[in-house]
């Protein structure tokens, strides 16, 4: 009986140490990356400034991808990486004050490209924006070349584009963002936990947050992303 109990406890301990879990704060962006052991700075040579943080394994995969891209004459540059709940709140509240219309209309307008605080994949340290967040850049010869390279190669390093054009399997959510890339092996786990643990009442603390439930932001935005075929075991 005692032996069985110890075995049982041993297995439980082993399961706990090997299974990756994230705190509710990590899912909602209440994180200070400078003090969090899992975060690392993106090298300045591959970023628009020296204070872009991502999770360490994401930085490692990105550096590998950017180095290989460079060999083919493609310069990849991170222009936005981890963003905290607090930072997203500033972005949201500023836009909310600037846009016109009812609260619902303002929120819907912001949600074309920006997330409600607490619902952004940028909170996770798995996602980043490359080169430019202006859609017009990706219509320039340079932007087209970069995007084609990413479409053909990013998956080999674990990255996918979560916000593509709307289609029948992604009828709602953010508009197409050719600049936004996500590290599937980690982001998939965080999304799974988010789906299980975060409720609309957890998305609070900013102007218009009461609309989270009415707009069904978890279903219509957080979960409404493009599928991918990346298998972490094959990376």
Nearer to Zn ion, 26 or 129 (CB): 129
Cβ neighbours for 47, distance < 8 A, ≥ 6 positions apart: 77, 78, 79, 81
| Shortest separation between residue 122's beta carbon and Zn ion, angstroms | 6
d(CA 128, CA 61): 12
| Residue 65 contacts residue 181 (beta carbons within 8 Å) | no
Residue 129 within binding range of Zn ion, rule CB under 5 A: yes
Closest Cα partner for 156 from 41, 66, 38, 77?
Answer: 66
Among 52, 83, 106, 180, binds Zn ion (CB under 5 A): 180
Residue 124 within binding range of Zn ion, rule CB under 5 A: no
Name the segment binding Zn ion (CB under 5 A); options: 90-98, 101-109, 121-129, 188-196: 121-129
| Shortest separation between residue 19's beta carbon and Zn ion, angstroms | 28
Q: Which residue is nearest to Zn ion (CB)?
A: 180
Residue 160 within binding range of Zn ion, rule CB under 5 A: no
φ, ψ of residue 145 in degrees (nearest 5): -60, -45
Nearer to Zn ion, 106 or 123 (CB): 123
| Shortest separation between residue 150's beta carbon and Zn ion, angstroms | 14
Name the segment binding Zn ion (CB under 5 A); options: 6-14, 46-54, 67-75, 129-137: 129-137
Residue 54 within binding range of Zn ion, rule CB under 5 A: no
Residue 26 within binding range of Zn ion, rule CB under 5 A: no
User: Which residues bind to Zn ion, rule: CB under 5 A?
Assistant: 129, 180
């Amino acid at each position: 009986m005692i032996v069985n109990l110890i075995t049982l406890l041993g297995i439980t301990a082993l399961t706990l140490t090997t299974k990756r879990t994230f705190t509710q704060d990590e899912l909602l962006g209440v994180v200070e990356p400078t003090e969090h052991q899992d975060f690392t700075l993106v090298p300045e040579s591959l970023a628009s400034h020296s204070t872009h943080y991502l999770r360490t394994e994401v930085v490692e995969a990105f550096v590998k991808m950017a180095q290989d891209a460079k060999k083919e004459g493609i310069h990849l540059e991170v222009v936005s990486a981890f963003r905290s709940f607090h930072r997203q709140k500033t972005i949201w509240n500023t836009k909310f004050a600037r846009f016109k219309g009812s609260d619902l209309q303002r929120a819907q307008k912001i949600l074309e490209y920006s997330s409600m605080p607490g619902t952004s994949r940028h909170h996770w340290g798995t996602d980043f924006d490359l080169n430019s967040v202006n859609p017009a850049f990706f219509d320039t010869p340079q932007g087209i070349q970069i995007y084609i390279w990413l479409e053909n190669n990013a998956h080999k390093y674990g990255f996918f584009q979560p916000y593509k054009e709307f289609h029948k399997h992604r009828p709602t959510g953010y508009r197409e963002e050719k600049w936004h890339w996500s590290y599937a092996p980690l982001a998939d786990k965080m999304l799974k936990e988010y789906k299980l643990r975060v409720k609309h009442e957890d998305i609070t603390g900013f102007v218009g947050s009461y609309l989270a439930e009415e707009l069904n932001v978890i279903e219509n935005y957080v979960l409404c992303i493009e599928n991918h075929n990346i298998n972490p075991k094959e990376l």
